[in-house]
Amino acid sequence: MASKKFLYVNRKAPHGSIYALESLEVVLIGAAFEQEVTLAFIDDGVYQLLKNQDSSAIGSKNFSPTYRALGDYDVNQIYVERESLELRGLTKEDLMPLTWEDEDDDWAEKDSIHVVSSAELAEVIEQQDVLLNF
């Protein structure tokens, strides 16, 4: 099977709908089949990556620790739209650090998150074979 470039676009808050969790599960499945996976977080989707999440008061599983496993699955292209962060009064420091280890560089730990402008994100989208919206 030839590998294709998949982009998962995440636009919704982590809780209140099933989109964020479903997207994460599909991403992990896609990555297990060694597809080339890129993630984008736009609009309320940026809330999915907030650090120190606590969902106990709403009786919903806090699945945010699972994003930190993405590096193990070789998912290390994570784009966050700068405008979406700014509109919500957030910066990269409000997000969980997501990293991956580069096997070809003596397991050096590298940053997976790229904060990019809307225009830069458009270029990333342009390079994909498959686009999935959540």
Partner 1 sequence: MAIELDGKSYETDEEGYLIDLSQWNDQLANEMAKADGAALDENHWEVINFLREYYEEYQIAPAVRVLTKAVGKKLGKDKGTSKYLYELFPYGPAKQACKYAGLPKPTGCV
Residues at the interface with partner 1 (CB under 8 A): 25, 28-29, 31-34, 61-63, 65-66, 68-69, 72-73, 107
Structure tokens at 126: 């342009």
Q: For residue 10, which phi and psi values (nearest 5 degrees)?
A: -110, 120
User: Between residues 63 and 83, which has the closer beta carbon with respect to partner 1?
Assistant: 63
Min dist CB 88 to partner 1, Å, is 25
Residue type, 43: D
User: Between residues 84 and 112, which has the closer beta carbon with respect to partner 1?
Assistant: 112
Min dist CB 121 to partner 1, Å, is 27
Instruction: Please name the residue that has the structure tokens 């940026």.
Output: 46
User: Between residues 18 and 122, which has the closer beta carbon with respect to partner 1?
Assistant: 18
Min dist CB 67 to partner 1, Å, is 9
The Cα–Cα gap between 37 and 17 comes to: 23
User: Between residues 62 and 91, which has the closer beta carbon with respect to partner 1?
Assistant: 62
Min dist CB 81 to partner 1, Å, is 25
The Cα–Cα gap between 58 and 72 comes to: 29
Distance of CA 97 to the CA centre of its chain: 11
∠ at Cα 66 (48, 46), nearest 5°? 15
